[in-house]
């Protein structure tokens, strides 16, 4: 006769728990190992695709190339050979939506997204084709052929609004809506740049503050032609035959350095000032858009234009 051994129920329960603990513990370790392999930002699926990190080697190499090209890229504008794109870095960064410096991987990453939407190879390198896409974009925002303003739509601004206190009274006019938008923009700039500008007790630009003052506003076609005759060798970028200033919507605003000199050394000074950087980020909120080649030149484009 066989003897049947009966285990107490408590022992059976203990043995079952021990087996379950070992099995679940092994499964948990395996699961954690898989999660570490996949990474915290990717959900585990049957097929896991490798995700490139933000600062991948590809964009690191692009950053190195941008560091070189920003001061050496040869391109043409206005019939003249240009070198590099450092002067336009604030405008480029604003267009691609980044605060990163041009020599960083994050800048290259943001640039690659712009290239994708512009049907360009998403290399993250700011080459000739990419720079051309930016210049076309900036130029498309400007007034274009808007027509010469008549006296009915022009108004005189106080001489205190101008950079040069001796400016001729004939040169103190601008289009009415443009002047109203300019005043709103300057008020906002004074508030945001209160630590950079000289202000009155009421928060307005102080009489001795030159930044953001109007250097030039409305210029009649006759006056523009006289300028061309006075400086026959001036480039067309400096003295356009059909100047936007004849519309009354264009303003030259003091942003630093020599007010309107197109030397690269002068423009490089201008684009590094807090005032210029503020305009790049905020002027469009008030209807003003830049002429990229001249940091001081801003055009008011009426809504719906």
For 247-272, what is each residue's pLDDT tens digit? Answer: 999 999 999 999 999 999 999 999 99
pLDDT for residue 46: 34
SS3 letters for 42-103? CCCCCCCCCCCCCCCHHHHHHHHHHHHHCCCCEEEECCEEEECCHHHHHHHHHHHCCCCCCC
Query: Do 105 and 54 form a contact (C-beta atoms < 8 A)?
Result: yes
Q: How far is residue 162's CA from residue 166's CA, in Å, rounded to a whole number?
A: 9
Q: CA-to-CA distance for 82 and 80, rounded, in angstroms?
A: 6
CA 55/CA 126 separation, integer angstroms: 17
Percent of the chain with pLDDT over 70: 75
pLDDT greater than 50 at residue 187: yes
Would the pLDDT of 1 be above 60?
no
Q: Give the confidence band of 232 by pLDDT, cuts at 50, 70, 90.
A: low
The CATH label, of 1.10.1130, 3.40.50, 1.10.101, 1.10.1060, for the domain at 57-140 is: 1.10.101
CATH code matching the domain that covers 151-300, chosen among 3.30.1380.10, 3.40.50.720, 3.20.20.70, 3.90.420.10:
3.30.1380.10
Distance of CA 176 to the CA centre of its chain: 28
Total residues belonging to the chain: 305
Q: pTM to 2 decimals?
A: 0.79
pLDDT digit string, tens, across residues 24-75: 344 343 444 333 333 333 333 333 333 344 456 889 999 999 999 999 999 9
Instruction: Using the structure block, give the residue that is written with the tokens 């990717």.
Output: 42
Query: Angle formed by the axes of helices 105-117 and 57-69, to 10°?
Result: 90
Which of the four pLDDT bands, split at 50, 70 and 90, describes residue 230?
confident
Q: For the chain, report the end-to-end CA distance as a whole number of angstroms.
A: 106
Average pLDDT, the chain: 83
Report how far Cα 213 is from the mean position of its chain's Cα atoms. 22
Lowest model confidence (mean pLDDT) among 203-207, 217-221, 276-280, 288-292: 217-221
Joined together, the tokens standing for residue 109 give: 């990453």
Domain assignments of the chain as residue spans, ordered by start = 57-140, 151-300
CA distance 154 to 302: 15
């Amino acid at each position: 006769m066989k003897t049947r051994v009966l285990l107490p129920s408590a022992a059976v329960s203990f043995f079952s728990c021990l087996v379950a603990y070992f099995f679940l513990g092994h499964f948990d370790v395996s699961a954690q190992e898989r999660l570490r392999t996949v990474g915290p930002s990717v959900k585990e699926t049957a097929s896991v695709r490798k995700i490139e990190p933000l600062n991948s080697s590809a964009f690191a190499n692009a950053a190195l190339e941008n560091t070189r090209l920003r001061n050496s890229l040869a391109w043409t504008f206005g019939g003249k050979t240009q070198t590099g794109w450092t002067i336009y870095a604030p405008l480029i960064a604003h267009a691609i939506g980044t605060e990163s410096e041009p020599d960083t991987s994050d800048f290259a990453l943001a640039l690659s997204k712009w290239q994708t939407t512009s049907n360009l190879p998403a290399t993250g390198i700011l080459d000739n084709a990419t720079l051309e896409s930016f210049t076309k974009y900036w130029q498309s925002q400007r007034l274009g052929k808007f027509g010469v303003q008549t006296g009915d739509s022009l108004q005189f601004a106080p001489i205190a609004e101008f950079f040069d206190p001796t400016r001729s009274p004939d040169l103190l006019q601008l289009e009415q809506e443009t002047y109203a938008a300019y005043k709103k923009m300057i008020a906002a700039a004074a508030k945001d740049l209160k630590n950079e500008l000289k202000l009155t007790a009421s928060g307005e630009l102080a009489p001795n503050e030159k930044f953001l003052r109007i250097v030039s506003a409305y210029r009649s076609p006759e006056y523009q032609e006289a300028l061309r005759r006075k400086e026959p060798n001036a480039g067309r970028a400096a003295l356009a035959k059909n100047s936007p200033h004849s519309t009354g919507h264009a303003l030259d605003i003091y942003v630093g350095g020599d007010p309107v000199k197109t030397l690269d050394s002068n423009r490089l000074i201008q684009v590094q000032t807090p005032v210029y950087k503020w305009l790049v980020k905020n002027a469009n909120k008030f209807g003003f858009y830049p002429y990229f080649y001249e940091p001081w030149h801003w055009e008011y484009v009426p809504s719906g234009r």
